[in-house]
Amino acid sequence: MSDQKQDGQNANPAAGETNWSRRQFLIGSVGVLVGATAALFESSNISKAASLIVGTQVDSGATSVYQNDYYYIPDQMTWRVGTPMIVNLQNMSPVHFHEWMIGRGGFNTAPNVYTDLDVQFNEDFWDGVHVTILEANGVDNLAVNKAIVKLDVPKGPWLVTQPGSGNFSPTMRPGGNIKLQFTVPNKPGIWQYGCFVQGFVHYLDGMKGTINILPA
pLDDT band at 112 (very low <50, low <70, confident <90, very high): low
Count how many Cα atoms sit within 13 Å of the Cα of residue 170 in the half-sphere of its side chain: 26
Q: Give the separation between CA 181 and CA 102, rounded to whole angstroms.
A: 15
Residue 139 sits at φ, ψ, to 5 deg, of -85, 125
The dihedral sign for the CA sequence 111, 116, 119, 124 = positive
pTM for this predicted structure: 0.73
Tens of pLDDT, residue by residue over 42-71, are 334 454 454 444 445 888 889 999 999 999
Q: Is the pLDDT of residue 32 over 90?
A: no
Indicate the DSSP class of residue 12.
S
Q: Report the greatest alpha carbon distance in the chain.
A: 85
In the chain, the domains with their CATH numbers are: 3-42 (no CATH), 50-214 (2.60.40.420)
Contact between 134 and 86 (Cβ < 8 Å): yes
Give burial (CB, 10 Å; 0-12/13-18/19+) of 132. Answer: middle
Q: Give the separation between CA 72 and CA 39, rounded to whole angstroms.
A: 19
